[in-house]
Amino acid sequence: MQRIRLLFRLLAIQRVLFRHGLDEFIVQVHLFRPFRFLLFLWPFYWFGRDTRRPRGERLREALQELGPIYVKFGQSVSTRQDLLPADIGAELAKLQDQVPPFPSAQALDEVARAYGRPAGEVFASFEEQALAAASIAQVHAARLPDGADVVVKILRPRVRQQVERDLEVLYAVARLAERWWGESHRLHPVQLVAEYEKTILNELDLMREAANAAQLRRNFEGDPKLYVPEVHWDYCRPTVMVIERIYGIPIDDMAALQAARVNIARLAANGVAIFFTQVFRDNFFHADMHPGNIFVDARDPEYPKYCAVDFGIVGTLSEGDRRYLAENFLAFFKRDYQRVAQLHVDSRWVPPGTRVDEFESAIRSVCEPVFNKPLKDISFGQVLLRLFQTARQFDMEVQPQLMLLQKTLVQVEGLGRALYPELDLWETGYPVLKAWVREQAGPRSTLRRLRRELPDLRYALEKLPGALRRFVEANSADAPPATDGGSAARPAIKGRHAHPGRATTGYWLGAGAALLLGGVLYLGLGIEPQWIGWALGASGLLGLWAGRPRQ
């Protein structure tokens, strides 16, 4: 049954593509050119094809008709206007917030279903005409009974069924790729689809999105660079979210930004700083950074502030990935290509047998031409092409867990290029990253980690007396001999008495471990004065050193 459903969906996708005359895009791909003649055998080719309207408009409408997954693909691509023909880029940009809304009557029905009563009884006022609409949901302006102006985000009806249906298609294509495509062993298409599945299904839960918004707001509370609107939790449901309404200039409205005399250079630099701060300081980053989700508060044009909306997609990294990426970025910034190559080999992103010197040379050839250059002088398309060639040459594996971060980095670079082409990404990002790495190595970061581990430390401390007693008894000269009376026990007893220093060693090790754990616990509890904790820890280390095994 699933295969039949999948077949019908594939036929429906083909029908939409042919109806909008998009076969012209397909036959331009080198791989499909030899099969161009097969188009004439396809029934959809001869009936109802629309080739009169502009190709960008036809592509946008086809993506809208195919559903949320395809719209989100168009949104992501639209952030790279420098890589797209002008007519296609302009049309795909409309997918960011100009997707046709679903009818107001359906929106009111969804609100009533979520709250168990009509919108008129929940809100003081509710505008039936949508403010904006996108692939997953649309938003309506409203006012709460306490007078607060808010926006109400409403999930599209049946959007989950549409998403799950097209995920089946993506999995089918990925499995075919893994079976028949030689590059699949390093690109991991099924794992990439699995990562995307987690991301988009999370986006369908508006309670989760509200929690994301609240977390990001806490992270940037009082920060002059970014404002995150307040969530009204009492009005949030899995299919409806209510959040503070913000007012600002869309990030891609350059005419309005210039009319407001916004300091564009500072705005662009702040955007890069916000990205690195979210990724490395907070380990929680907004991962849907297309222009439809970013506004500018220009009330103080010399110090403009970003305002973010739509928190359905956020990313986090494992501690290992975060530290590895930070070391990679810093090595790039310092032009230490040998270090970059070694990090890739150590992490097994390239095969273990890769020659570091050859990989270093390839990385240098990609990066040197773009250093210390503003974005306007860098051909991002050429950089990507060289990166893909290098990855293929050295059999470099794609890391599915970093897919969101890579997508966000591409979006941020595209926004920076459109906003302020003179921006130097390296010069802007290096201080933020360097400060984070320095902070991670400092005592405050160590104490934070200790506090995080405090419950485990307390549990270990409770077990310490018994463990120490058993340890000392096992290493004491006065420990009782084995009770079996056999001759096998005598060598052990003789050996123990032959080395009376072992008892002293045991005491030193036991005391050192106790002092070290005591110092760690003291610091973890944040008790003043903290020098006592450091003294205990230092004494414990000395004890462990004194009790080290000697030949």
Q: Please return the burial class of 142, using the count of CB atoms within 10 Å of its CB with bins 0-12, 13-18 and 19+.
A: buried
Beta strands in 156-259 (DSSP E): 226-227, 240-244, 249-250
Burial 79-92 (b: 16+ CB within 10 A, else e): bbbbebeeebbbbb
Pairing of strands 137-143, 249-250: unpaired
* Tokens of residue 374, six digits: 């503003």
User: Which residues have C-beta within 8 Å of that of residue 56, sequence separation ≥ 6?
Assistant: 85, 87, 88, 89, 90, 91, 92
* Tokens of residue 538, six digits: 């230092």
Assign 3-state DSSP to the chain and report helix, strand, coil percentages, each to 5: 65, 10, 30
User: Which residues have C-beta within 8 Å of that of residue 42, sequence separation ≥ 6?
Assistant: 14, 18
CA 94 to chain centre: 25
Please check whether residue 66 is in contact with residue 16, taking contact to mean a CB–CB distance below 8 angstroms: yes
Residues in the chain: 551
Q: Which helix (H) or strand (E) holds 286?
A: strand 285-286
Instruction: Concatenate the DSSP letters of all residues of 426-474 into one string.
Output: HHHHHHHHHHHHHHHTSHHHHHHHHHHTHHHHHHHHHHHHHHHHHHHHH
Catalytically annotated residue among 23, 97, 288, 297: 288
Please check whether residue 192 is in contact with residue 400, taking contact to mean a CB–CB distance below 8 angstroms: yes
Helix (H, G, I), strand (E, B) or coil at 117: coil
Partnered with residue 306 across adjacent β-strands are 226, 296
**Which residue reads 């004065």 in tokens?**
529
Please check whether residue 94 is in contact with residue 60, taking contact to mean a CB–CB distance below 8 angstroms: yes
Q: Which helix (H) or strand (E) holds 196?
A: helix 189-203
Please check whether residue 292 is in contact with residue 134, taking contact to mean a CB–CB distance below 8 angstroms: yes
* Residue 321 annotated to the active site: no
Question: Do you find a cis peptide bond into 100, omega within 30 degrees of 0?
Answer: no
User: Which residues have C-beta within 8 Å of that of residue 311, sequence separation ≥ 6?
Assistant: 209, 210, 212, 213, 216, 228, 286
DSSP letter at 260 equals: T
Q: Please return the burial class of 15, using the count of CB atoms within 10 Å of its CB with bins 0-12, 13-18 and 19+.
A: middle
Give the residue numbers marked as catalytic. Answer: 288
